[in-house]
Structure 1
Amino acid sequence: MHVYYADHFVLPLPQGHRFPMAKYGLLRQRLDGLPGVSLAEALPATDGELALAHTPAYIAAVRNGTLSAAAQREIGFPWSPAMAERARRSVGATVQACRIAMAGDGLAANIAGGTHHAYADKGSGFCVFNDSAVAARLMQAEHARRQRPAGVLRVAIIDLDVHQGNGTASIFARDESVFTLSLHGARNFPFRKEPSDLDVELPDGCADAEYLEALEQALNELERRFDPGLIIYLAGADPHEGDRLGRLKISYDGLEARDRRVMDWAWQRRVPLAFSMAGGYGTDIETTLTVQTNTYRVALDYHARWQRSRT
């Protein structure tokens, strides 16, 4: 299973910054020991690719380091060349995962990504560029060039980070070819939500049974309203009970069941799926790494099913 990374582009964050930058390198080390994982460095997204979802002025500000102090505060990262490069490669990783999933592999991953708070014209909440939005639009463009008579590629973005995907919802607000589904904490960031095609709000303290039932109902509603040709899945670790920002009470088993349900939903319909890791802020970083490694173990099972179906 192809997995793309850019963890060696490290942001020079101030001492005590709450973003757990180290988790990406640590996760890559764990994945390097998993049989069946093929790791590759992510290529950077180009200006033209980013412009499918972002305004030229914003892309230029990130590239040239001319973001205002207020814009940098909203993102949560100070600008640096490494910040700009990492943001491009985080998008590139999701693009590459989508491409290879659609080329027949069926399932591939970005070791980071899930930057769903980035709007067309600004970043927010540790998100610079919106990898899911750029990848969805680029896959549609590439699909149209290959199979013009077949019509537009329909993309479902299944966002199971604990925070609502406000930037993604805003970018696709009037785009009927992309379905945005967000299952998130009702009282969590962002405090001003944007309407997704389907929002499912969860109460503080929500545990496994309630969470998995809400997911099942959401997938049923997605199936009733939309027929995707590609799924982009944000497999956030932050719904876990040990996450310091999550406010939910989902266990390791509950999150593994979540991942299995989403990947099984895609597999049963033979819809290619690319996934990103999205949020994870465990009080102990080992908590986040365990959740994410479990996601990859589930994904390897479904990737193997895809490969057997090709023989």
Structure 2
Amino acid sequence: MSMAKPPSPAEPPVLAYLFTLRRARHPMPKVWASYFDGCDPGSFRIHIHVDPSFNATELDEKGPAAKYFNRRNTLPREQLAKVRRFGHELVRARMKLLRYATDGKAKSHLPPLFFSFFSEACAPISTCKAAHALLRTAAAATPPRSFIEDKRPMTADQRNDTPQWRAEFVKVCPGCASVGLPAKDFRFSPGWVTLWWEHAKALLDTESKYDSVFASWGWSKLVNGIPDETYWSTLLLHKGLPITGTLTTYMEPGDPKTGHSKTFNEQNIPMLWEQPAPALFARKFLPTPRMDTALTARLKEATGKAGGAPKAARAIRRSLL
């Protein structure tokens, strides 16, 4: 559902922005409106999954981002579901977004090149032109890869696929064996991934096969992972689909007790904008008017600077070599 003119059959959208929000409005409207205002017409689509308990599709469509965050870009009410963080519900919501963005209801001749997931705490740390230039370059790589992090070292038990590891994995995922998903394929990655369109389609094609398996996912200290942070990395590895090993959404470790990433403040913004490719977005920010204003000011400062998009393209080309 592009807000701009429909892309031609020869030029698919670069990126589908898939948001899981409480309401159809975004709590940081200024920065996202400024970002999308800088996108080329037809180069993006926006799809939003909202919490149905908030009367989610009813809103006052006013303000700087109303042309982007609105009822028209929100999934139909019958497709909305309550989302619980750290559970498989978030995976299901994202799969609903993926399916809606790739089927005929999305009203596009071709699927976007990539699909990225965002929350209320995510914000851009690049201009749209630079972000899309980077992704166009990534799409031309051989083969194209999904942006999924693969930085957490495997334990010795996992690396050696020991009997203890396999036994513990059975406790965590009792249904994995029935769908041919072995313990050795388990991987952890933050869930804020960017999927190459063919990889998104591969996941959608087997969604029903793995849904109940991940819905009954448990946890153990040895097999340390939750459904929304294992689904994407584990299944792409299992299917033999290539990844970059990095995310387009930059994060830093936070409190290990809660599992939440570091919360950035206004003083962190210059540092975030200096992050190398492929960092295009960041989380998490407190979604406050003050943060929205600070992020918008930095984005406007960067908008229009010469060389931003070519520089991003060169950086991603180097990172893929």
TM-score normalised over the length of structure 2: 0.34
* Larger Rg computed on CA atoms: 2
Q: Which of the pair has the greater relative contact order for Cα pairs under 8 Å at 6+ separation?
A: 2
Higher helix share: 1
